[in-house]
Chains A and B, each alone.
Chain A
């Protein structure tokens, strides 16, 4: 059912939801950007619809709600431990289609990979209800259409923002009573059909080509350009890597907590092993690993789609202006070169 609801009515609905739900949405933080007098848009709890940033893509993805950058897993005292508690409320999250698709890609890693479900992720994931934010224009770094993640049908609510009002499509019966008094309207969300960027993901036909691609000189460029800061993976809507740390409260007792913290394959030290072995020593090797993971390895493992959803946040957040789409195009060219060489 479609409805047209004023912000005032939306806020009344929010008030009614607050008892049962935490409402999360992209929110603008003035002056909190990387550079002075620039803003950042990231996910936060909201209580009023006016707090939601509808006009700009968030700098950081929706994944932060389900898998916060730092999370306490359990608390321990000598040989006893207690697991941390998840939020008691359900989560109503405003997400664009790219973020919704990204969450499904994350589910594969957290819940299916290795035949083991990550309970800390699962217990959050079970609480999620999605409000799809209609996204028909996109931004200059977006390429969701190329990645097939411009559409998302599995939402509870879908919204289109207007001047002081929302058009709402209610799919989930749980929410229907909230709109009993709202004005019915003919509304179905639309999706972007063409981004400013079109990207064709190259096929890597066999392991031999993959091996040659790994040592192709195209990656060397990133030894000069990439500073290995990890901004791209933190901003990535699909990256899931984390590391764990035991925080000991007092040096003299065995009391503390285990935390998990987002990690980045781009940051030096990510592949450090006991005994001093390091798999990827250079920025170029780390970049190659990330690009192949997003545009080859994940799909090779799970078969149905590439890991990247084309949200373009990695490009937007890179302080060195490294474009992921330009990089994939360079990779496509390198593959063509390798194939031409083989065909000789």
Chain B
């Protein structure tokens, strides 16, 4: 077979190259990973009509449709028009005609305009889970509006609690719903269920004291809410103010996979959204306004943590409870020896280049 395919262009369109020449796998975004079940039959239709009849659960919670022949991409893209409109434009209020704060032309018949911002993953969160502290879908939708469409690569996941079932910890930004629980001394019967639950599930910061009430080591509380779930009297309750922790710089990869480090703690949604509103601006600056398919974490590495923080929180006001890492020392799982040691000519540089 004789092919003349610009695979980079096709990739930007969210079609991934197959080992079978001329075939691609489409990845449909599902920000927040919850969607009306009616789209399942739509996905089935696409799989059967344009793909090879199989379906894959995307590892970032996308609908993956393998085996789409290059010549069918145009027709397939036309079919995506309604789905993208429903999911991105209407559910997430995404402005498809702006990329990195610049106006762009958008043709809804041409499928996805960019692949840079990867699908925002989320666990089911507090709409279902008894452990969840946050509505993960709602937050994911708000973030989607800020980071998509974009040519700048970023991986975000939202977990309802610090148990992190969605493995937000391995994303550039891992967000987890937490809460500063409220203790009502007079409702406490000293049963110790919270202390047991905290010891078993979390960080063991609660102890039953000699008065039959609870002492708390506030320093190490992860804000998970196990105490609230275990409490038979509602002595422990959630604070109406919803808060989040954010880990930074987690990633998988061949070169230097690593877990994210604690970056923000006890921040409000406003802080998180203020931060993501600066992401595309930061990325553009770091890459000297030349988008490339480079993982977001690498941009932070290039700029350095302190520089990143200066850019990303421009104009962002912190809530009084908020804490931020003064510095971050990532521990890397070096799967290739001496990976940072190289000729000076190969060193990467951030910001405007001479």
* Residues in chain A within 8 A of chain B (CB atoms): 29-37, 40, 42, 59-60, 68-70, 229-231, 234, 243, 245, 247, 259, 261-264, 267, 317, 319
Contacts and interface: CB of A to CB of B under 8 A. Distances in A.
Interface of B: 126, 130, 132-135, 160, 177, 179, 185-191, 193, 211-212, 225, 228-235, 237-238, 240
Given A36-B126, A37-B135, A69-B186, A31 B193 contact: no
A230 B191 CA distance: 8
A262 B126 contact: no
18 contacts: A32-B234, A34-B130, A34-B228, A35-B130, A36-B132, A36-B238, A59-B234, A60-B234, A69-B233, A70-B187, A229-B230, A230-B232, A234-B232, A245-B212, A247-B211, A261-B189, A264-B232, A317-B232
Contact of A32 (B189, B211, B232, B237): B237
Nearest to A257: B211
A221 to B, nearest CB: 21
Contacts of A319: 229
Given A40-B234, A245-B211, A245-B212, A35 B189 contact: no
Q: Provide the main secondary structure of the chain A interface.
A: loop
Given A230-B232, A234-B233, A247-B211, 12 more contacts: A31-B238, A33-B234, A36-B238, A40-B234, A60-B234, A69-B235, A70-B188, A70-B189, A229-B230, A230-B189, A243-B212, A261-B188
Nearest to B125: A36
B189 A234 contact: yes
Nearest to B134: A36
B234 A262 contact: no
Contacts of B234: 32-34, 40, 42, 59-60
B160 to A, nearest CB: 8
B224 to A, nearest CB: 11
A60 B237 CA distance: 14
A32 B235 CA distance: 10
A89 B193 CA distance: 36
A197 to B, nearest CB: 23
B211 A262 contact: no
A68 B186 contact: yes
Contacts of B177: 36
